[in-house]
């Protein structure tokens, strides 16, 4: 084994890091699997924001299935396995799934801002009063 791939942590710390990653991987696959199964059961009724949640579950489960096994095995081995090629693979999968996840979260945030941040066009007095009170609280906090 090449010396540069040996872990700098103690074997005990690597072991417990591996146990922790196993728990996180199992919970991630199980939780995101539940989201995908529930979404598949009512696929025709899903709206656009709910499809973004499905996309987020797919990216998270993809990351868990493509990256966690390599990390877990490396923790239990007390060294990085596979050398440079597995390192490039790990980095590529991390980049692809992370960028997809971040972009999905950004779009979800923009949609929530558009839905919750814009007052209704019906002229409802209650919602207008709430918005003006909220503005007054924010303006008062900015002066302090």
The string of DSSP letters for 7-51 reads: -SS-HHHHHHHHHHHHHHHHHHHHHHHHHHHHHHHTGGG--HHHH
pLDDT digit string, tens, across residues 70-99: 999 999 998 888 888 999 999 999 999 999
Percent of the chain scoring above 90 in pLDDT? 52
Q: What residues pair up with 79 in beta bridges, in sequence order?
A: 6
The pLDDT score that the predictor gives to residue 25 is 95
pLDDT digit string, tens, across residues 91-139: 999 999 999 999 999 999 988 888 887 766 665 554 544 555 555 545 5
Tell me the residue ranges of DSSP E strands in 39-102: none
Q: Please report the domains of the chain, with CATH numbers, ordered by start residue.
A: 3-143 (1.20.1070.10)
pLDDT digit string, tens, across residues 24-44: 999 999 999 999 999 998 888
Q: How many whole angstroms separate alpha carbon 131 and alpha carbon 19?
A: 49
């Amino acid at each position: 084994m090449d010396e540069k791939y040996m872990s700098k942590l103690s074997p005990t710390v690597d072991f417990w890091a591996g146990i922790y990653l196993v728990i996180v991987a199992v919970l991630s696959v199980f939780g995101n699997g539940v989201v995908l199964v529930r979404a598949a059961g009512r696929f025709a009724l899903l709206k656009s924001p709910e499809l973004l949640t499905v996309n987020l579950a797919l990216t998270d489960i993809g990351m868990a299935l493509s990256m966690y096994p390599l990390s877990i095995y490396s923790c239990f081995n007390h060294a990085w396995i596979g050398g440079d090629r597995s390192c490039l693979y790990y980095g590529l999968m991390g980049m692809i799934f992370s960028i997809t996840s971040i972009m999905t979260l950004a779009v979800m945030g923009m949609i929530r801002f558009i839905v919750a941040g814009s007052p209704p066009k019906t002229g409802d007095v209650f919602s207008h009063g709430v918005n003006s009170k909220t503005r007054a609280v924010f303006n008062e906090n900015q002066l302090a």
